[in-house]
Structure 1
Amino acid sequence: DNVTALPLEKVTIAQSLKKAGYATGLFGKWHLGNRQEEHPSKRGFDEAIVSNGKHFKFVTDPPVDYPEGTYLADFLTDKAVDFIERHKDEPFFLYVPHFGVHSPYQAKPELVEKFKEKTPADGHGDPVYAAMLASVDESVGRITAKLDELGIAENTLVIFSSDNGGVGGYQREGVQAKDVTDNAPLRSGKGSLREGGIRVPYVFRWKGTVPAGIVSKEVIASIDLYPSLLGVAGSEKPEGYPLDGVSYAAHLKDPAKEKVERDALFWHFPGYLGAGGNTWRTRPVSVVRSGKWKLLQNLEDRSLELYDLKNDVGEKQNLSETQPEKAKELLAKLDAWRVAINAPSPTVNENRTAGEIQSGKKRKRRAGS
């Protein structure tokens, strides 16, 4: 039942900004469809080079030549900087979804050697992973430096974020997966709906417009990016096209006065995400976050977990029994949302026997079946 491509009738942020007069470019990971009609160049991006899977000797779509030994993060940054230089005198939207720090864990040898000399600390002790992070950091620095050099930093909003938490925190959960890093004090990591899996950095830079050095306590999510960028660009959303998120454009400009108007955020994962030894990074679960409160409903047995994230960001104290009214209130919000969007429920996989499900083994299927 898993959908692996963005349906062609969906209107992307690139299509909306292109319609508003922006030059649009994407260099990096796509993961929204591999057919030619699903390529980002057909989904609103004037220029698009897709690459993921390897950090050295990588393949690009469309094919692009590059010198032997080139590191993917550097290649993508070269293309991004070139795009900025060519479009500096017009509105542009540049999306650089790095494949770093995704596996396979490969980094530039000179950076690996640099981090080998450092003492591990706080669960961070992998020099290759650190070197990959350093390459992404260099990329961000090169892009922001180019904006400064061209004198357009005060007219350009830069956003840095991630799609999920780090690959770590599993061992504490009894999950048999390698802890490449650690998300402490957050619980668990990538693939989980615990805070270690879904709480990510969101950094904004817009010289002269977004106040520097401010930490916002407002709760936002990546679904808010679309309406927020439309708000920054002064563009309307596609007619008759619902957007899931809310705009935080006004909050960016005046965080002390403008709040992000939302009642709750929701997650729904009606499946399993595996690890080793028949353990799971996540089982079927639905989540609602409202203010400081977070409720998880485990869909296998309908049990509830309630956490006060303001005082317990590590999700250690389940308050569902001591705060039953709050749990009931949040469950009602979650139920209403699932009904409104027709959220799918977990279904039995009829292609596997009970023994295979228990052992986590896949049954081989004959060709044509």
Structure 2
Amino acid sequence: MRSFLPLCTALFLFASMAQGASRPNVVLILIDDFGYECVTADGGESYRTPVMDKLAATGVRFSQCYAQPLCTPTRVQLMTGLGNRRNYTHFGHLDPSQITFGNLLKGAGYATCIAGKWQLSNGLDGPAHFGFDEYALWQLTRRPGRYKNPGLEINGQLHDYTKNEYGPDIVSDYALDFITRKKDQPFFLYYPLMLTHEPYDATPDSADYIESKSGKNQKPLGHFPDMVAYTDKLIGKLVAKLEELHLRDNTVLLILGDNGTGRGTPSRFQGRDVLGGKGTTTAWGTHVPAIGNWPGHFASGQVCPDLIDATDFLPTICEATSMPVPAELKIDGRSFLPQLRGEQGNPRDWLYAWYNPSGGATAKAEFAHDAHFKLYTDGRFFAVKQDDNEKSPLDDQTLDAGAKAAKAKLQAALKQFDGPREEAFIKQSQPFGGEKGEDANGNKIGGGKGRNKAGAPVNPPPP
């Protein structure tokens, strides 16, 4: 297990260096099950996202941002800056030896809060252990409903709602209150939204919110358009609060999806019909929207085609807050702050993914790709620009010069990851409390019973 002592010493030095300096606030929004096709600015034609569209029009949107196919694998990468090959143990869990952006920013003197979805086990102490001063969370030690009449945990206390309250509203109110209370000091709000994950239930803006029942009429689309619109509305409320408090010009705002849209969810995108691919390693399971906005500091109205992934957000946040990433972490991420400023930066030639929701010694899928081609370790090679559902592997005998060069590049990339995983992260143990999760196809798994260290029930069956 990684020692915290050298890191704590380093963080104390970083905080001392930053005393007296003007440091921006940071808000990082992660949207649950929200693929690239969902944002109008990216070419989506099925949903209403005016707030995100405006943020993209006055900031930078990335056309080639990628996550893992499921939520926990992405969250582990996002929070640590490390790829799953190097630190992922099993679904619904973040190994307690890991250092997160919460630890780093708290150590640098930031007030820190996480509000939304947890799904990383480690009990009631988990958020504090990973650097968050306070929290309002769903699926911390249990998994009741998340939408109407939710069950949440707020700073160690269980809250169960029964009067048609809406979980995302409660969490939003907490996030806005945190911003208000911390407006006179640098703060970091990590806001992993509970939306837009199934069940595709009614929102408070849906005509049938009061009488609707969870899970009714949700397939294949249900209230998903309403959920996307409500997600956009909640982001708008946060932006409005920052403006009201005169914090907007001193706040870095970053938005991304955690994986593709729910499997089989139909959408219209750039003139064609597409299906959500959550749980798959195609573009529809991994290609997600990403937007950065910081008035006066980031470029305005730019579309960046550079490859980025979830590991890149930690170093980007650190660079934006003038906080060096401790060398001992040896992260995989690469800062894209220069691109946000409209500069060339140090763009990637390829991205690498190791994916197995259950953990273990070997990947269920391991591949490298750029914006045009993808190569798996089993030899399958796709022209993903044209074949985004990966239906037709390319034959070596038919490759043109460009495809041959791309395959050689990706072969060299995969060779860098030859050999076994780090032994410390080869585990097949059950998640904390028998936590429920999803398998590689997005199906529910797990769901044992038990009680956490505080005596609260762990994962009773959802209502």
> If the TM-score is normalised by the length of the shorter chain, which range does it land in?
0.7 to 0.9
The answer to which of 180-189 and 136-145 deviates more is 180-189
Equivalent of 1:134 in 229, 245, 261: 229
> What is the match of residue 319 of structure 1?
394
How far is 1:136 from its partner? Answer: 1.2
Q: Does 1:51 align with 2:138?
A: yes
- Aligned residue identity for 2:328: G
Question: 1:219–1:189: structure 2 CA closer, same or farther, 3 Å change rule?
Answer: same
> What is the match of residue 367 of structure 1?
none
Report if the CA contact (8 A) 1:168-1:181 is conserved. Answer: no
Counterparts of 2:181 and 2:149 in 1: how far apart (Å)?
27
How far is 1:266 from its partner? Answer: 1.0
Q: Which has the larger radius of gyration?
A: 1
Equivalent of 2:382 in 298, 306, 328: 306
> What is the match of residue 104 of structure 1?
199
How far is 1:28 from its partner? Answer: 0.9
- Aligned residue identity for 1:306: F
Question: 1:271–1:223: structure 2 CA closer, same or farther, 3 Å change rule?
Answer: closer
> What is the match of residue 330 of structure 1?
410
Question: 1:63–1:151: structure 2 CA closer, same or farther, 3 Å change rule?
Answer: same
The answer to which of 65-74 and 210-219 deviates more is 65-74
> What is the match of residue 266 of structure 1?
352
- Aligned residue identity for 2:393: N
How far is 1:34 from its partner? Answer: 4.1
TM-score (norm 2): 0.61
> What is the match of residue 286 of structure 2?
198
Q: Does 1:286 align with 2:362?
A: no
Equivalent of 2:330 in 223, 236, 242: 242
How far is 1:284 from its partner? Answer: 2.7
Report if the CA contact (8 A) 1:56-1:69 is conserved. Answer: yes
Q: Does 1:5 align with 2:99?
A: no
How far is 1:289 from its partner? Answer: 1.4
Report if the CA contact (8 A) 2:337-2:345 is conserved. Answer: no
> What is the match of residue 230 of structure 1?
318
Q: What SS does structure 1 have at the residue aligned with 2:99?
A: coil
The answer to which of 203-212 and 181-190 deviates more is 181-190
1:126-164 CA deviation, whole Å, 9 max, x = no partner? 351112222211110000011111111111011111101
Q: What SS does structure 2 have at the residue aligned with 1:337?
A: coil
Report if the CA contact (8 A) 2:110-2:188 is conserved. Answer: yes
Counterparts of 2:97 and 2:422 in 1: how far apart (Å)?
19
Report if the CA contact (8 A) 2:118-2:137 is conserved. Answer: yes
Question: 1:109–1:47: structure 2 CA closer, same or farther, 3 Å change rule?
Answer: closer
How far is 1:180 from its partner? Answer: 5.7
Counterparts of 1:260 and 1:93 in 2: how far apart (Å)?
26
The answer to which of 319-328 and 25-34 deviates more is 319-328
Report if the CA contact (8 A) 1:57-1:70 is conserved. Answer: yes
Report if the CA contact (8 A) 2:263-2:279 is conserved. Answer: no
- After the TM superposition, list the runs of 4 or more consecutive aligned residues in structure 1 that deviate by more than 6 angstroms: none
Give aligned-pair identity as a percent. Answer: 28
Q: How many corresponding residue pairs?
A: 314
TM-score (norm 1): 0.75
Q: What SS does structure 1 have at the residue aligned with 2:169?
A: helix
> What is the match of residue 172 of structure 1?
none
After TM superposition, list the pairs within 5 Å mapping 1:50-89 onto structure 2.
50-52=137-139, 53=143, 54=145, 55-61=147-153, 62-64=157-159, 68-89=163-184
Question: 1:137–1:291: structure 2 CA closer, same or farther, 3 Å change rule?
Answer: closer
Question: 1:215–1:286: structure 2 CA closer, same or farther, 3 Å change rule?
Answer: same
Counterparts of 2:310 and 2:274 in 1: how far apart (Å)?
19
Question: 1:186–1:200: structure 2 CA closer, same or farther, 3 Å change rule?
Answer: farther
Question: 1:340–1:284: structure 2 CA closer, same or farther, 3 Å change rule?
Answer: closer
- Aligned residue identity for 1:129: F
Counterparts of 2:175 and 2:168 in 1: how far apart (Å)?
10
Report if the CA contact (8 A) 2:200-2:222 is conserved. Answer: no
How far is 1:307 from its partner? Answer: 1.5
Counterparts of 1:113 and 1:4 in 2: how far apart (Å)?
33
Question: 1:266–1:72: structure 2 CA closer, same or farther, 3 Å change rule?
Answer: same
Counterparts of 2:298 and 2:344 in 1: how far apart (Å)?
12
The answer to which of 76-85 and 28-37 deviates more is 28-37
Counterparts of 1:313 and 1:220 in 2: how far apart (Å)?
18
Report if the CA contact (8 A) 2:266-2:273 is conserved. Answer: no
Structure 1: gaps of 5 or more residues:
115-123, 170-178, 274-282, 348-361, 363-369
Counterparts of 1:92 and 1:320 in 2: how far apart (Å)?
52
Equivalent of 2:111 in 4, 16, 23: 23
Question: 1:106–1:9: structure 2 CA closer, same or farther, 3 Å change rule?
Answer: same
Question: 1:270–1:161: structure 2 CA closer, same or farther, 3 Å change rule?
Answer: closer
Question: 1:313–1:214: structure 2 CA closer, same or farther, 3 Å change rule?
Answer: farther
The answer to which of 52-61 and 7-16 deviates more is 52-61
Question: 1:187–1:317: structure 2 CA closer, same or farther, 3 Å change rule?
Answer: farther
1:46-87 CA deviation, whole Å, 9 max, x = no partner? 111211442122222232476721111111110111111111
Q: What SS does structure 2 have at the residue aligned with 1:36?
A: coil
Counterparts of 2:280 and 2:317 in 1: how far apart (Å)?
28
Q: What SS does structure 2 have at the residue aligned with 1:157?
A: strand
- Aligned residue identity for 1:203: I
> What is the match of residue 309 of structure 2?
221
Compute the RMSD of aligned alpha carbons.
Answer: 3.3
Counterparts of 2:232 and 2:387 in 1: how far apart (Å)?
30
After TM superposition, list the pairs within 5 Å mapping 1:167-178 onto structure 2.
167-169=262-264
Counterparts of 2:267 and 2:414 in 1: how far apart (Å)?
32
Report if the CA contact (8 A) 1:108-1:131 is conserved. Answer: yes
